Structure 1
Amino acid sequence: MIAASDAVEEQIDRETEFGFWLYLMSDAVLFSLIFVTFAVMSSNLASGPGGADLFDIKNLAMQTALLLTSSLTIALAHHATEGRNTTRAVVWLVMTCILGTGFLALEIRELSGFVAEGAGPGRSGYLSAFFTLVGTHGLHVTAGLIWALTLIVQIVLRGIDHRLLSRLARLSLFWHFLDIVWIAVFSLVYLPEFL
């Protein structure tokens, strides 16, 4: 009976992992399409402001530092769960949430500042594509934060088990994927405006 139960649980884990990889690949396709759209629309300013007129290098540097540091903290949370250290796992997940929330706060401040200056997504094709790309990434970070908060509650209430390890491993992959997307946003959207 126990062997059958273990076999069923292993099958569920394999299917869940496969489904997660399918999701992550579909997300990669989604972001690729948005990047291509941005590239096509990047010269469509409609006599409006471009990135060089809007972007603040200090804000961008802070956003990038917060998100890349959160990649380290989520890796440390994953390492702590593998060692069954609930306190450290919770601390590192809370730090990840704080850093991710800081990133989002700076992003929201940036985008709302653009709108206040009359440079909202309806102003030009460039800004529409920019808001779509950055906003989609921000929504993914928000989803990752909700996921991390859910895991914190589960660790506190139930401790660390095999299922939680699996969930945190997938969250960690998802979070690192978002960091890779942000590096692409930084390199292809923001950085050319400062060169």
Structure 2
Amino acid sequence: MNIVKDGKIPPLWHYGHEEHDVIGAKTFGFWLYMLSDALLFAGLFAAYGVLDHTMNAAGGPTESQVVHPIAATWQTFAVLSSVFAYSLATVALKRGNRAGVVLGMLAAIGLGVVFLGLELADFASLFHAGATPFTSGFLSAFFVLIASHGLHMVFGLLWMLVMLVQVLRFGFSTAVVAQLLNLRLFWQFQASVWVCVYVFVYLKGTI
């Protein structure tokens, strides 16, 4: 069922009882997943914090030799811009503007791909220099933390592609709107995690 009314998506409390229950239940369930994901990243940050010392470099590259804050700054710009683009898609969603949603999501996808491209280029340069996850405990923690976030970004981009198809095919049905709102939470969370990575890994590594 399409829930657009008078050309706009009504606020959650204006939905019928059925739509309110579906969207509310799916959003609550997704928040529980997000909490578990936050615990995962908390563990990864803790592991990195323990292993980021010179003694854990095993004679290989140290933290200051591995992190590239300038490249990470561009990545930060890309991921935050992607979140902004998706926010514009959300504004279009509230107005029932299907074209605006599609354009905003396409921009978010493009910027997300730029982020992943920069990350892969950074990984390639590290591998070329002999800095791999098998070199030391520090590099293992570094690669696992960054790659885990990168895999979440890949999942988010695939999710966006699926939602693009659903928006074009089904419009703004209750199920589609619920998924778009959950995707917004997921994408914003990934941006927040990356900001933590940028500060805790890349900026701290230059000190």
Same fold flag (TM > 0.5): yes
* SS of 2:57 mapped into structure 1: coil
Provide the rounded CA distance (Å) in 1 between the counterparts of 2:112 and 2:38: 20
**Match in the other structure for 1:42:** 52
**Match in the other structure for 1:171:** 183
Structure 1 spans left out of the alignment, 5+ residues: 1-5
* SS of 2:134 mapped into structure 1: coil
Provide the rounded CA distance (Å) in 2 between the counterparts of 1:32 and 1:124: 21
**Match in the other structure for 1:88:** 100
**Match in the other structure for 1:53:** 65
Identity of aligned residues (%): 35
1:114 CA displacement: 0.9
Provide the rounded CA distance (Å) in 2 between the counterparts of 1:153 and 1:69: 22
Provide the rounded CA distance (Å) in 1 between the counterparts of 2:159 and 2:191: 16
| 1:30 aligned partner, one-letter code | L
Write out per-residue CA displacement over residues 116-158 of structure 1, whole angstroms, 9 at most, x where no aligned residue: 2110001011100000000000000001001111111111122
1:58 CA displacement: 2.6
RMSD: 1.3
TM-score (norm 2): 0.87
1:54 CA displacement: 2.4
Provide the rounded CA distance (Å) in 2 between the counterparts of 1:120 and 1:17: 39
TM-score (norm 1): 0.92
More helix by share: 1
Write out per-residue CA displacement over residues 81-137 of structure 1, whole angstroms, 9 at most, x where no aligned residue: 111101111001000000000000110111122112110001011100000000000
* SS of 1:119 mapped into structure 2: coil
Q: 2:123 pairs with 100, 104, 111, which one?
A: 111
Matches within 5 A, 1:119-134: 119-134=131-146
Provide the rounded CA distance (Å) in 2 between the counterparts of 1:58 and 1:118: 21
* SS of 2:59 mapped into structure 1: coil
**Match in the other structure for 2:85:** 73
Structure 2 spans left out of the alignment, 5+ residues: 1-15
Provide the rounded CA distance (Å) in 2 between the counterparts of 1:56 and 1:185: 12
Q: Which has the higher contact order (CA 8 A, sep 6+)?
A: 2
Is this contact kept in 1: 2:163–2:180, CA < 8 A? yes
Provide the rounded CA distance (Å) in 1 between the counterparts of 2:90 and 2:177: 8
